[in-house]
């Protein structure tokens, strides 16, 4: 039989999600920020809602008012970050700067984002979206849409460079875009904050490798 207290908290949580007041949204953001710090220090498996509550100096029950589980908290943070990355990629792709500069800025920005939100985005990269449980299905679908949006932005940038001659046609725009994203994503195998080079430097290195391999020589 379902615990009555848990049921009441769940009902309050659902009602609160519709609350437009800034105080509620600000508190959710505080919890998300604290969770990032806890996940960063302990890793996802060792982290807990109790640890997040301790980070904020509040009771664990207060966290349950906003999030039902560690997975839901993780999903919320990743969704927010990925939405920001997708919007950033689109802005860069639609900007008036040259394709090489667009690609350079996007690569640098994504490496910085991976480091800033370590290890969350790397945990997400390893997530098999085709095997999540039913309660996360809507989240999974949204993540796929965001992934496709990011891929499209990178493909668009490469196509722009191929069209204006600033990039050599070393392959299809799609394959080049996948190579760029693959290089960034593979950094989850070795990147460690404080041990690896700063993300700004890594982003510059990655961008230089890509751009120097693509730029046309006149």
Compute mean pLDDT per 10 residues along the chain, 218 residues long, and list them: 50 56 86 88 86 94 90 90 96 98 97 90 77 78 95 98 95 96 94 94 97 81
Tokens 């008012």 belong to residue: 65
Model pLDDT for residues 42-61, shown as the tens digit of each residue: 877 888 999 999 999 999 99
d(CA 158, CA 152): 10
Say what the pTM is.
0.81
Preceding peptide of 26 cis, ω within 30°: no
Judging by beta carbons within 10 Å of its beta carbon (0-12, 13-18, 19+), is residue 207 exposed, middle or buried? buried
Three-state secondary structure call for residue 215? strand
Judging by beta carbons within 10 Å of its beta carbon (0-12, 13-18, 19+), is residue 38 exposed, middle or buried? buried
d(CA 173, CA 212): 16
Q: How far apart are the first and last CA of the chain?
A: 74
d(CA 74, CA 42): 14
């Amino acid at each position: 039989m379902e615990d009555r207290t848990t049921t009441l908290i769940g009902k309050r949580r659902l009602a609160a999600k519709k609350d437009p007041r800034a105080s509620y949204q600000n508190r959710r953001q505080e919890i998300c920020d604290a969770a990032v710090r806890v996940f960063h220090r302990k890793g996802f498996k060792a982290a807990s809602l109790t640890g997040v509550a301790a980070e904020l100096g509040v009771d664990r029950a207060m966290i349950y008012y906003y999030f039902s589980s560690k997975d839901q908290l993780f999903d919320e943070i990743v969704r927010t970050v990925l939405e920001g990355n997708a919007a950033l990629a689109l802005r860069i792709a639609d900007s008036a700067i040259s394709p090489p500069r667009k690609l350079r800025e996007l690569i640098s920005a994504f490496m910085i984002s991976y480091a800033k939100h370590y290890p969350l985005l790397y945990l997400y990269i390893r997530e098999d979206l085709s095997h999540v449980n039913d309660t996360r299905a809507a989240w999974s679908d949204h993540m796929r849409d965001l992934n496709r949006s990011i891929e499209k932005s990178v493909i668009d940038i490469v196509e722009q460079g191929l069209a204006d001659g600033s990039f050599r046609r070393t392959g299809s725009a799609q394959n080049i875009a996948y190579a760029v994203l693959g290089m960034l994503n593979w950094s989850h195998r070795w990147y460690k904050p404080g041990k690896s080079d700063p993300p700004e430097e890594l982003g510059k290195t990655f961008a230089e490798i890509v751009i120097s391999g693509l730029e046309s020589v006149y």
